[in-house]
Amino acid sequence: MFEHNYDQVLCKNIDELIYVNNVAKKLGKIPLREYTVRQMTYPVYLFLQGDTVGWNDSMDRIGDKFTFLEFVEWEQTLNYGLDNQSIND
């Protein structure tokens, strides 16, 4: 997961977005601001490559798209840097 810069997580509601945003923060990313999160219309895609969480509400962007459930399953395999694991592993 997240092998390319354009890989995305689909968030269908604010709860999913907040969850993904919080995981990104644990990974050392600059998360979306609370104001931005509250103004979103759904569905929305989040990009986690790079230092800052990106977002897009267009469904026709290139890149692999992952469901929220796929993201949660992937996130459960992380140990948040205890063994130097990164988002690219």
The pLDDT assigned to 2 comes to 67
Domain assignment of residue 71, yes or no: yes
pLDDT tens-digit series, residues 14-71: 999 999 999 999 888 999 998 888 899 999 999 988 889 988 877 777 778 899 999 9
What 3-state class would DSSP assign to 18?
Answer: helix
Residue 86 has pLDDT above 80, yes or no: no
Domain assignment of residue 70, yes or no: yes
Q: Which of 22, 29, 68 is nearest to 48 (CA)?
A: 29
The number of domains in the chain is 1
47's tokens: 């990009």
Mean pLDDT of 81-85: 50
The pLDDT assigned to 1 comes to 65
Q: How deeply is 80 buried, as exposed, middle or buried, from its count of CB atoms within 10 A (0-12, 13-18, 19+)?
A: exposed
56 versus 81: the higher-pLDDT residue is 56
**Structural domain containing residue 44:** 8-75
